[in-house]
Amino acid sequence: MSNMVLPPIQIVPTSAASDAPGFGAEVRGIDLRSLSEVAFASIEQAWIDHQVLLFRDQRLTDHDLIMFARRFGDLDQAPIQENGQRFVAGIPEIYVVSNVVENGVAIGSLGAGEAVWHTDMSYLEAPPKASMLHALEVPAAGGDTSFCDMYAAFDSLPETLRRRAIGLRVKHDGTYNSGGYLRQGVIPSDDPRDAPGRLHPLVCTHPESGRRMLYLGRRRMAWIGGMDVAASEALLDEIWAHATQAAFTWTHRWRVGDLVLWDNRCTMHRRDPFDAAARRIMHRTQISGSAPPAG
């Protein structure tokens, strides 16, 4: 046995979001397939502290991806893909995000268009606490993913808006996914009050950091519970315009082998469109939330 000393893990903040210091960090010096308990504990803490973590140069099989994700907790089953399949190659925890078409059938979801700002699966009573995407194939241009810091969005709300927001609940729509595609088995309605979905507090407290954040989910078909639809639309527009300012966001340009892990409670994300003739394949896992978001 040698007394080999492993190089320490480095946590390098992105410093990308001008009004959200500490939002996003790159973790260097690790292989996600062989993490010690100590290394995992520092990653988990960094994830709470920085909300979004980037790991470069990982080459994970689906099994490796699931083994890493399980260290954070139980995994949710992935939502049904747009192609109607419940899961991929017998692995129900993996969600494939891809525009690639094989034998006339899309192998994944979200196509090549824009994916609008959202939080994953927040139409559920207890949405996943985290999601991670692993890049297997990426286009030469486009398809960047941006993240938004919902702590910063809350902390910087003008006082009058903050006072109005606390105590309200917002409906997280389950009709459409972030690519604008209808979810399997849903009959769309024009009225956000009738649409399937879940009401969650608009201002939530993060169960681990104790910090407060805006919890918006997605804009389309959102509704502030109990409010007249026109008034709800106006208030949501105001809050959304505030929350998605560039000063709270970090945009990630993908390389093959990247893994990005986000705290799904205190961030939102969106994706730029890309050339539909190019190939992009990402595999995602989502870690179960233990409780509904609380105010």
Answer with the entry of ligand OGA, Mn ion, none that 243 interacts with (C-beta below 5 to 8 A by kind): none
Answer with the entry of ligand OGA, Mn ion, none that 78 interacts with (C-beta below 5 to 8 A by kind): none
**How does DSSP assign 112-151, residue by residue?**
TS-EEEE-TTTTSSS--SEEEEEEEE--SS---EEEEEHH
Q: Are 229 and 191 in contact (CB under 8 A)?
A: yes
52-55 vs 25-28, strand pairing mode: parallel
Size of the site for Mn ion (CB under 5 A): 1
For residues 186 and 176, what is the distance between their CA atoms, to the nearest angstrom? 9
For residues 229 and 134, what is the distance between their CA atoms, to the nearest angstrom? 39
- In the bound state with Mn ion, the residue whose beta carbon lies nearer, of 39 and 248, is 248
32-71 mask for ligand OGA (x: CB under 6 A)? ----------------------------------------
Residue selected from 119, 131, 267, 285 as contacting ligand OGA according to rule CB under 6 A: 131
Q: Does 172 bind ligand OGA (CB under 6 A)?
A: no
Q: Does 116 bind ligand OGA (CB under 6 A)?
A: no
Q: Are 199 and 187 in contact (CB under 8 A)?
A: no
The CB density around residue 192, as the number of other CB atoms within 10 Å, is 20
For residues 162 and 94, what is the distance between their CA atoms, to the nearest angstrom? 37
DSSP annotation of 218 reads B
Smallest separation, CB 136 to ligand OGA (Å) = 11
Size of the site for ligand OGA (CB under 6 A): 12
Q: Does 285 bind ligand OGA (CB under 6 A)?
A: no
Residue selected from 97, 106, 124, 239 as contacting ligand OGA according to rule CB under 6 A: 97
Using CB under 6 A as the criterion, which residues of the chain lie in contact with ligand OGA when the complex forms? Answer: 97, 110, 115, 120, 131, 133, 145, 178, 269, 271, 282, 284
Using CB under 5 A as the criterion, which residues of the chain lie in contact with Mn ion when the complex forms? Answer: 120
